[in-house]
Amino acid sequence: MSLINETNDGFISVYQTRRRKNRNRYKYQSNELSFKLSTNLKHISTQMVDSRTLINVLTYVSNICLITNKTLIINKISHIVCYGLGNFLTSIDSLYQLALLVSLKKSFAKSLKISIFDPIFSDIETDFLKNNLQFNVLKVNNHCIHSIDIQLDQMVMFYMPHCDKCLFNNLLWSNWTLSQLNQMVILGNSFNTMIETIGSQRVAKHEFKYLFATTLCEEFKIC
């Protein structure tokens, strides 16, 4: 922003206010942040395979494979849909969750398709998922209202590491038929644990009634 004053000799003096300087400073900080994220991105593959990550992730993968083998569905899973992964460039927990997702892809069928969405993904993270990992990054926030197409006759795993109970409730509501429930696996928080955190059972049954699907499904603990 500029202030324009006319002097006695007819010349016009232009003075710059501090607002423009601040805007340039913020622009510099934004560019600096983007550079730091880009730098971190160059090392993310290395971080995903460090020893501590491998020990934690492989334990989970081993347990998941044992369960899916036990239930005879490991060879039937052809699609993993991931919601709520988080910012894996800035959060070590989200980075572990991404490493687990990559490991699952390698452990299941070679033709496995992975779709992923989180509204907080940065542009850099989205590019990494699409170009480096070849994931299908969903563009629309459907709030986990994702209905399985039973005509495709495929088993879908929904991987929801950091999702709130209302999102689990939405997912179940959108697949509330016997055929659809038989074609889905949910990898996430325990339904029983989520119900217990609500407090009032009356509120739980009214607002999150689909979480009471524990009476219709079998829940396995993987850790």
Do both 209 and 152 map to the same domain? yes
Rounded Cα gap, residues 32 and 136, in angstroms: 29
| pLDDT tens digits for range 75-104 | 688 899 999 999 988 888 888 889 888 888
Query: Is 222 within the bounds of a domain?
Result: no
Checking if the pLDDT of 138 tops 80, the result is: yes
Confidence of residue 50 (pLDDT cuts 50, 70, 90): low
Exposure string for 72-89, b = 16+ CB within 10 A, e = fewer: eebebbbbbbbbbbbebb
Place of tokens 């038989």: 182
Over residues 172-191, the mean pLDDT reads: 89
At 44, list the tokens.
């993310």
Do both 94 and 188 map to the same domain? yes
Per cent of the chain over pLDDT 70 is 62
Q: Are 213 and 191 in contact (CB under 8 A)?
A: yes
Number of domains present in the structure of the chain: 2
Do both 98 and 147 map to the same domain? yes
Do both 72 and 114 map to the same domain? yes
Rounded Cα gap, residues 148 and 205, in angstroms: 24
| pLDDT tens digits for range 101-136 | 888 887 777 788 999 999 999 999 999 999 989 999
Report CA torsion sign: 115, 137, 106, 88: negative
Query: Is 104 within the bounds of a domain?
Result: yes
- Cα of 111 vs its chain's centroid, Å: 21
Place of tokens 């934004």: 30
Rounded Cα gap, residues 202 and 209, in angstroms: 10
Residue 178: predicted pLDDT: 87
What is the pTM assigned to this prediction? 0.73
Query: Is 25 within the bounds of a domain?
Result: yes
Do both 67 and 142 map to the same domain? yes
Do both 30 and 96 map to the same domain? no
Do both 25 and 69 map to the same domain? no
Do both 113 and 33 map to the same domain? no
The residues with which 46 forms a beta bridge, in sequence order, are none
Do both 69 and 31 map to the same domain? no
Query: Is 70 within the bounds of a domain?
Result: yes
CATH number, domain of 130, equals 3.40.50
**Which contacts of 45-48 are long-range, i.e. CB under 8 A and separated by 24 or more positions?**
45/132, 47/95, 48/95, 48/98, 48/99, 48/102
Query: Is 114 within the bounds of a domain?
Result: yes
Query: Is 7 within the bounds of a domain?
Result: yes
Rounded Cα gap, residues 57 and 79, in angstroms: 20
Between 190 and 79, residue with greater pLDDT: 79
Do both 138 and 34 map to the same domain? no
Between CA 93 and CA 105, with CA 88 as vertex, the angle to 5 degrees is: 85
Residue 68: predicted pLDDT: 61
Segments forming the whole domain that contains residue 142? 48-215
